[in-house]
Amino acid sequence: MFLNKFVNTLKPYTVSSHEAWNYVDDSEILKLDWNEATVKPSSHVMKCLLHHIETGRLNWYPDVDNSHFRTILSSYVGVGAEFIEYFASSDALHEYIIRGFINSNDVITMISPTYDNFRAASESVGAIIDYFDLDSEDNFSFCLESFKNHLYKIRPKVVYLCNPNNPTGTLYSVDLIEQLIKQFNDVLFVIDEAYFEFSNTTCAPLVENYENVIITRTFSKAFALASFRVGYAISSVHNINGLRKIRNPKNISSASQIAAVAALEDIGYMTNYVNEVLETKSRFIDQLRSININVIGSESGNYILINFGSFQASIVPFLEKHKVFVRNYGHVHGMSSYTRITVGTKDQMERVFSLIQSEFLKNP
């Protein structure tokens, strides 16, 4: 009875099965459902964390103004530190953006299907979600002119755009996004670059010239730090200062800050992992298509989207039976036969392909 009227009727963000955690100590488990890295953090990260546990001020609140973190992050991103702020995950950052920029009854346009948590957080404060649907009849293709016409008609307060898009893999060029930002300069564009390291496409340079863009990124994917919940914003100085007004700086733990800095000090580890994932992804797609599996959503990111058709009902539980957990998109409207699979290392994906192949050959 005490919930606000928006939360009271809210449809929550649907997470994948939690069953994988029943096998957390099992070396055979393959968790390919949340697009986390499939490898551990680098040895340098582990060394720095152990040093912190042994010698750090664990009884203190974390550093609330970690200038070293901002400086090394600035070097990595390629923009000044004044254009950057770190947060306790990009999900938390999304919630701060919603608190800071969105009012009840503001319209948010989301390109669909996409990452759904932004929708849930926005609706909790009374925002109205408007969907622009990718063309499911054409492998979820995007039509720029149709999107522009849609924006002219709807006139949203905010556009939420994942680049690359999750789960379709759609990759939008920087030129395309800049064209939208310039043409609709009264719309705030929230560009979610959670998979930037796998696409090498970023709008970061735009923040020095445009006020109406906020880029969000995470350390959960390529850097293998999902458990530490570290994300960051890239935006104009004005927007960053606005977010700082409501950001709780104590919420980014010391361990998370140390892990993120150490990961940035060991970029080679991340780069090698990303390169292996991209090479493996290409091979995995070829293997799947060789047995006539309909792979789409493969343009970018560390995942692929598959239309299993009539096999959808059997393939997901079959893989789970063999301790391989993937993301079933059957709960999403129009995606009853779709599954997203995170791509890991070569050896990991050889195992996944062998399982899928065995099931398909058994049921041709």
CA 3 distance to own-chain centroid: 29
**pLDDT at res. 47:** 98
pLDDT in tens, 91-118: 999 999 999 999 999 999 999 999 999 9
Give the residue-averaged pLDDT of 62-82: 97
Segment among 33-42, 308-317, 335-344 with least mean pLDDT: 308-317
Confidence of residue 88 (pLDDT cuts 50, 70, 90): very high
Helices (H) and strands (E) in the chain, counts: 13, 12
DSSP state of 347: H
**pLDDT at res. 16:** 64
Residue 182, pLDDT above cutoff 80: yes
Determine how β-strand 231-235 pairs with β-strand 294-296: unpaired
pTM of the model: 0.95
230: Cα within 13 Å, side-chain hemisphere: 24
Nearest to 334 by CA among 305, 363, 360: 305
**pLDDT at res. 363:** 65
- The reply to whether omega before 156 is within 30° of 0 (cis) is no
Q: Where in the chain is the domain with CATH 3.40.640.10?
A: 43-267
Residue 2, pLDDT above cutoff 80: no
Choose the CATH number for 5-40+268-362 among 3.30.1330.60, 3.10.590.10, 2.40.30.10, 3.90.1150.10: 3.90.1150.10
DSSP state of 41: P
The two structure tokens encoding residue 97: 């953006």
Task: Give dist(CA 8, CA 125) in Å, integer.
Answer: 11
Of the chain, the percentage scoring pLDDT greater than 70 comes to: 97
End-to-end alpha-carbon separation of the chain, Å?
53
79 three-class SS: coil
Q: Which residues pair with 339 in a beta bridge?
A: 306, 328
CA 210 distance to own-chain centroid: 23
Give the residue-averaged pLDDT of 182-209: 98
Q: Where in the chain is the domain with CATH 3.90.1150.10?
A: 5-40+268-362
pLDDT in tens, 161-173: 999 999 999 999 9
- Please state which CATH number belongs to domain 43-267: 3.40.640.10
**pLDDT at res. 248:** 92
Confidence of residue 12 (pLDDT cuts 50, 70, 90): confident
pLDDT in tens, 270-302: 999 999 999 999 999 999 999 999 998 788 999
pLDDT in tens, 260-272: 999 999 999 999 9
Determine how β-strand 324-328 pairs with β-strand 338-342: antiparallel
Contacts of 25 (CB under 8 A, 6+ apart): none
Helix intervals (H) in the chain? 5-8, 43-55, 67-77, 90-101, 117-123, 144-154, 174-183, 196-199, 237-246, 254-265, 267-290, 312-321, 346-362
Determine how β-strand 324-328 pairs with β-strand 84-87: unpaired
Residue 364, pLDDT above cutoff 60: no
Average pLDDT score over the chain: 94
Give the residue-averaged pLDDT of 188-201: 98
Task: Give dist(CA 270, CA 192) in Å, integer.
Answer: 20
